[in-house]
Amino acid sequence: MKSFLDQLAFALALATGLFVILLAGVLGFNEVHGKISTLVNSRQVVRLHDELRRQPKDETLKQHIRQLDLQLRQETFYRLSLSHNATRALLGGLVLFLLSAHWTRTRRQRSPDPLAWGARKPEQERRNARWAQVGVAAGIAFVALAAVLASPGRLPEPLPVEIPASDEEYQQAWPAFRGPTGAGNAADANVTLPWTIRWKTPVPLPGMSSPVIWSNSVFLTGASATEDRVFRLDADTGKLLWSAVVPGPKPPAPKATDDTGLAAPTAVTDGRRVYALFPDGMVGAFDFTGKPVWSRNIGPLDNSYGYAASPALYRDRLLIQIDRGDAEEGQSKLLALDTRTGRDFWEVKRPVAGSWTSPVIVARNGQPELLTCANPFVIAYNPVDGAELWRVKCLSDDCAPSPVMVGNVVIAIAPNNAVFGVQPGTTNVLWRMDEGVPDAPSPVSDEQRCYFIDPNGLLTCLNAATGKSVWTQELGEHFYASPTIAGGTLILLSRKGVAQLLATGESYRLLGKFEFGEECNASPVPRGRRLYVRGKHNLFCVESAAK
């Protein structure tokens, strides 16, 4: 006969057992439901954060994230609280269940009866255990194999270490749009008249880009509506060594005026590879044999007039300035690609309107800075990580001339408005010149003075430190090519293809002229006693007779 206590214990064990099962079910549901979106693993939050990084000023997005954050936070803490209380209740129920079940079991326990157990069969047990052991080992091996198959593999091995070109090699070359220093100045060149044409080679595809030189190679770009090409010519003979198409599906050609064309950005080289950017968004890297190393589409780059900014290079970073639309539209950015792979190193938004200027690498206090110009800012960045170093607000309109640094003054141009001398590292405008302001050609400097030419052919020489005019001269021609200095000679190449050579200095002095006989818009490139000039149809190499 069961006592009342026995019956109570049995009933309690049943009730608490059911209670535990029910609560475990609630906890399980809470867990499964909670997995859908929690504060710490919400994919939606991660994506919204990513979106916010791209559009940091989007207030609607911020508000959305705030609401979601609050909602998920409340849900998370509600679930935690529920879990906390349920765990306490669960353990309480379990303790009651165990006590009551223990009572019930103790009352029903019987003495063991070995005779009823039957004989043990250790040999059979061992044999079965061996096979089960093999089965479990196979199970572990299966799990391990599944892990191997699920493995993403090892991370890529490091790219082969490249020996970068030396500073000497850089200085002897003309590796980018404005030369090795970004100032358009080749101090050790000597291209005084008279000249003879050493060679003249037809350019297979049109383009406004300038040639770049490394050792005895000349690199040039050209494009049509159907292809983007890079050319390598022998600097001594003008022989076309190879012509390579940028691999990959070519995007549609963007709209561009005839004055900009489809190949305005100048190529850039580090002495190991040559990198070319085209207005359709294609970027390609080629080794010196013409073999493509990588290519990708970073587009779209379309803006009014067409895209014209040439890329710059700093160590293993290919720096591309993409300024489009109005400043408020937030479409402008600066992009750094890995020269070895073409992958993004970094990307920063720029608070500027569309521009046609090229970024220039300069050294200030021994540190590299990437100078950029666009309405309304001159902004300097760290080329390593894209961090903004300083900015000066002074520019306006459609900026096309690239900046130049003379001593401790950065000269920037707001077309048809003013030329500014700004103090780098500050927000100061040191001086302003309102006359003779260029529209497209970049300024050039002989380290003391700065020379620039306006759309009417007015050449201005001013003191770079003070901004005071030293002299001016009407040249009576129209120029797109930026002035270049070779040794002490200022070279001005008009659109009609007439090169005027002037002596740099405190007064205007014409040294002579040379006619190429065809339209010229690209900036001339001096090297040694030679000058490389891209005409509308031909690439010229003229050589000075001077020793």
Partner 1 sequence: MILAAQRFPPPEFSETGHQLPGFIAPAVRALLLERLDIVVLVVALILAAWLALRYRSRRGLVWLSIFSVVYFGFWRKGCICSIGSIQNLALGLADSSYAVPVIAIVFGLVPLVVALFFGRVFCSSVCPHGALQDLVLLKPVTVPVWLEHPLRLIPYTYLGLAIIFAATGGGFIICQYDPFVPLFRFSGSAAMVLTGVGFLVAGIFIGRPYCRFLCPYGVLLGLAANVAKWRIRITPADCTQCRLCEKSCPFNAIEPPPVTAPVRNLAADKRRLAWLLAAAPVIIALVGWLGGATGTTLARKHRLVNLAERIQLEDSGKINYATDATAAFRASGTPAEELFAAARQLQHRYILAGRLAGIWIGLVIALKLITLATRRPRHDYKADRIRCVACARCYRSCPEELKRLGLPVPE
Q: Which residues from 353-412 bind partner 1, rule CB under 8 A?
A: 382, 384-385, 387
Min dist CB 50 to partner 1, Å, is 4
The one segment of 135-143, 187-195, 367-375, 420-428 that binds partner 1 by CB under 8 A: 135-143
Residues 75-104 that bind partner 1 (CB under 8 A): 76, 79-80, 83-84, 86-88, 90-91, 94, 98, 101-102
Among 36, 150, 163, 225, binds partner 1 (CB under 8 A): 150
Q: Which of 12, 58, 61, 69 binds partner 1 (CB under 8 A)?
A: 69
Q: Return d(Cα 469, Cα 478) in angstroms, integer.
A: 21
And the tokens for 233? Answer: 């010519």
Per-residue b or e along 240-258, where b marks 16 or more CB atoms closer than 10 Å to that residue's CB: bbebbebeeebbebbebee
Work out how close the CB of 110 gets to partner 1 at its nearest, in angstroms, rounded to a whole number: 10
Contact flags string 153-192 toward partner 1, x per CB under 8 A: xxxxxxx---------------------------------
Contact between 237 and partner 1 per CB under 8 A: no
Give the binding range for partner 1 (CB under 8 A) out of 126-134, 274-282, 390-398, 442-450. 126-134
Give the list of residues 6+ apart from residue 28 with CB closer than 8 angstroms, or none: none
Q: Which is nearer to partner 1, 133 or 215 (CB)?
A: 133
Give the separation between CA 213 and CA 125, rounded to whole angstroms: 84
How far apart (Å, rounded) are the C-alpha atoms in residues 180 and 302?
A: 28
- Quick check: 264 and 307 in contact, CB under 8 A? yes
Q: Of these, 18, 46, 363, 545, which contacts partner 1 (CB under 8 A)?
A: 46
Candidate list 22, 141, 510, 545; residue touching partner 1; CB under 8 A: 141
Pick the closest to residue 349 from 367, 374, 368 (CA basis).
374
> What's the chain's length in residues?
547
Q: Which two tokens stand for residue 516?
A: 């190429």
Among 137, 187, 510, 546, binds partner 1 (CB under 8 A): 137
53 near partner 1, rule: CB under 8 A: yes
Which is nearest to 441 in space by CA: 485, 499, 400? 400
CB of 387 to partner 1, least distance (A): 7
Is 125 a binding residue for partner 1 by CB under 8 A? The answer is yes
344 binding partner 1? (CB under 8 A)? yes
Q: Rule CB under 8 A: which of 492-531 touch partner 1?
A: none
Query: Are 199 and 497 a contacting pair, CB within 8 Å?
Result: no
Instruction: Find the radius of gyration of the CA atoms of the chain.
Output: 37
Query: Total residues at the site for partner 1 (CB under 8 A)?
Result: 78
Residue number with CB closer to partner 1 (74 or 215): 74
Cα torsion 42, 44, 46, 49: sign: negative
Pairing type for strands 484-486 and 185-186 reads: parallel
Among the candidate windows 3-11, 60-68, 304-312, 326-334, which touches partner 1 by CB under 8 A? Answer: 60-68
Q: Quick check: helix, strand or coil at residue 207? A: coil
- Smallest CA-to-CA distance from 169 within 214, 202, 206, 133 is with 214
Q: Does 343 bind partner 1 (CB under 8 A)?
A: yes
Nearer of residues 330 and 528 to partner 1, judged by Cβ: 330
Q: By CB under 8 A, what part of segment 286-315 binds partner 1?
A: none
Q: Six-digit token pair at 528?
A: 């040694």
1 or 163: whose CB is closer to partner 1? 163
Choose one: 133-141, 243-251, 441-449, 464-472; the region binding partner 1 (CB under 8 A): 133-141
Based on CB atoms, which residue is closest to partner 1, 345 or 390? 345
Identified binder of partner 1 from the candidate list 14, 27, 429, 498, rule CB under 8 A? 27
425 alpha carbon, distance to own chain's centre: 23
Question: Rounded to an integer, what is the distance from CA 480 to the centroid of its chain?
Answer: 28
Nearer to partner 1, 27 or 389 (CB): 27
Q: Which residues pair with 473 in a beta bridge?
A: 459
Q: Which two tokens stand for residue 451?
A: 């020379």
3-class secondary structure per residue, 94-106: HHHHHHHHHHHHH
Comparing CB distances to partner 1, the nearer of 47 and 57 is 47
Q: Figure out which of the listed residues 122, 160, 366, 476 binds partner 1, where binding follows CB under 8 A.
A: 122
Is 21 or 363 the residue whose CB approaches partner 1 more closely? 21
346 binds partner 1 (CB under 8 A): yes
Q: Are strands 429-433 and 388-393 parallel, antiparallel or unpaired?
A: unpaired
Structure tokens at 251: 């995007």
Q: How far is the CB of 52 from partner 1 (least distance, A)?
A: 9
